[in-house]
Structure 1
């Protein structure tokens, strides 16, 4: 049995101090991204908060200052792939979180929206990882956390673009893990069920239309139908998982997917 004092093995107490680390979080203006940015900043990281919502970033930066953390807002549209790659240079921690959703049957799904979803949720993470890796490799340490979804592991009707993007993100994350392992870089997907975010709130209206149900039935009968725990995940719960994956104790967790799904994938 390995003892806590074995050379090379971190001590048993989880080290949540990220002082001296720079973290980049996409989709940081609200929801999971905001929670991750604030939690990483509270742990001492300097956070580059990326989003196209300038007002949301301004609010986030103020919240970070109030909490004693360092949050640097950066207004960026991730469809500008060259700018996305450049923004990731020098990051020690990369949290790929930005996403969008449209609920439509395939035959009615607008091709331009499908393209945009894949650009923001798959191609942009590739470019961000590509931009971050040279620095991570040079220092022999890095953390890539990809905010996937249960829909990276399971499919749902009417979400072709989102499901395709998340499944692609899973493969990208595993490839980054295999390539990064010799350089001290981990890559992990975090797979929450439905989270209490503006994105999910908008989905309730879309799902109501798709399933011809009143909105007050959608949460229980559609969104949480397959979840054993009948509630939404809170953004702060996801942020705690992300923070742990950035600690020394998580150095052996890579190339995998961590489900925060209330038992959805237990079926």
Structure 2
């Protein structure tokens, strides 16, 4: 068990379920604005905006007349960002959280931790054994001999790293990460794999700082492709 200031990193307990869900829910909702701003910066939306302006002007509409169209368009994009957050929370993506005991605790190679501050759960992280990685997807990586490492059965998948908004910037995420990596070493894992997104700038920086290397960038489609976010896959050899 590790401590950081007034924060304690401890194993998940059955009565933590509601608190864990609240942390994950807040984490998802906190990404809505970032996702919205990210979507606004997408080249395809900029191009679409230019096309709308040109069509409107060609049909004799004034710039002022086009303003309501842009406001509606921005509203739709924000609504899609909100819906994406709820889809993430209530789809099969978080099915593992419905039974943490079975997914993470019953197998000694898996685990789930919470960060607790003043008896309040403020963060989470989990490790689960990863099976059958897609070796070919990483053939171009510059990590030495990554293919042979990934072919080992003992690869950990780091998941559910979340810290509540008001507790960010205190080093809790790093403490959670260190605890999970120490566990992986004790369980004789050969390496740790994780996926994050372009929305999570601070997380990507943290992973890079502790030695994770970027091995792939892939598009992830929400709502049948209406919202597309880049995912970043990282790997750390142990």
| TM-score of the two chains, using structure 2 as the length reference | 0.29
Specify which structure has the higher proportion of strand: 2
Work out which of the two has the higher radius of gyration on C-alpha atoms and give 1 or 2. Answer: 2
TM-score, with structure 1 as normaliser: 0.27
